Copies of this chain bind each other. A is one copy, B any other.
Amino acid sequence: MREIADQLGISRTTVSLILKGNAAQYRISPQTQKRVLDKAKELNFRPNFFAKALNKAKTGVIGVLFPNVFETFMSKVVKGIEDVLYANDYTMMLCTSRFNREQEIKNIGQLNYRSVDGMLMVFNAPFHGEKYSYKHIERLSQGPCPVVFIDRYLPGLPIPSVVQDDEAGAYNATRSLIDSGCTNIAYVSLHIDISSIHDRFAGYKRALAEAGREISRNHVVTLNKRERVAHDLESAVRSLLASEKRPDGFLVTTNGLSFRLIRILELQGRTLNRDYKIAKFGADPPDNPSGMYCIEQPHTEMGMRAARLLCDSIENRTSPGAQQIIVKTALHKP
């Protein structure tokens, strides 16, 4: 910038003004403007991000923090977020906590250090029975930087969130299994202590109750340790199959789990659609085996809504409080 000014024999202020598009406001002569603009192009001028960020409070960066990015869920949400963020001239800084609380804390620290203008996050949640502290998450509500939660929320914390209607989704799916003739419907889930999972279980129970079915403890499979999921699922399936009321329907709360389940049942000689039906959260229709009910969550829309909410709260400086947006799921029948 100095170079431009010097070479043109004018002051740096003028150059700055023009380059920022404030020329009109200051009624700078069109010739000068053109000279500056041309020179800028000639010298291939790129404004310095840091100098700018040092003066202004804004960085134009939104931090996005997810447990990982390789579940279809996350990646579709990211797509929605990107769409909105890029359209609003924000840049995304994406980090993953790898389901690890310490890493999550570190990442939050980094994002703060980098003075992001806002944060979008799917925070980590503990498995049932783990002792766990949400202090680092709770602190966010006092922080200087607006945050929007996705997929889950912390009851009582004044931070807005975008979630799906888990209870209704699970309810509808379970009902469909019942309507299609399943008599013993099992519930298969990671036993995570988080709003979304609790709500899904509630939907499952409501559907059974409404149909006059009893809810058998033996049909509820809740997996407790991430590392042992594969193994635990296998033994759970064995006892499900050995039980008197062998399930002919499964409500599965996550996509990955449903594939594992099919695989294991296959090894036990039971074939999807012939011997049992599955309804699962998460859908990727073109690649799914036939015979699955999918509770499709509008992932991309969730990302978009969350990003919009965040952008609004940054720009209007409105504090959305604990506002919650609930997006609808859709049931895909096989």
Contact = CB atoms under 8 A, between A and B. Distances in A.
Contacts of A53: 50
Contacts of A51: 50, 54
Interface string A201-241: 00000000000000000000000000000100000000000
B93 A46 contact: no
A92 B93 CA distance: 8
B69 A82 contact: no
A115 B79 contact: no
What is the interface residue range for chain A against chain B? Answer: 35 or more
B260 A112 contact: no
Contacts of A266: 289-290
A230 B260 contact: no
A125 to B, nearest CB: 20
Interface string A87-110: 000011111101000010010001
A219 to B, nearest CB: 24
Contact of A75 (B69, B92, B112, B287): B69
Contact of A114 (B49, B74, B96, B267): B49
A51 B78 CA distance: 30
A134 interface: no
Contact of A70 (B69, B91, B230, B260): B69
A217 B260 CA distance: 37
Contact of A69 (B54, B69, B287, B288): B69
Contact of A113 (B46, B54, B110): B46
A91 B110 contact: yes
The 10 A-B pairs of least Cβ separation, nearest first, read A70-B75, A94-B94, A50-B53, A69-B69, A50-B54, A50-B50, A259-B287, A91-B110, A93-B93, A49-B113
Interface of A: 46-51, 53-54, 59, 68-70, 72, 74-76, 78-79, 82, 86, 91-96, 98, 103, 106, 110, 112-115, 230, 256, 259-260, 263, 266-267, 286-290
7 contacts: A48-B54, A69-B94, A70-B72, A70-B74, A70-B78, A91-B95, A259-B287
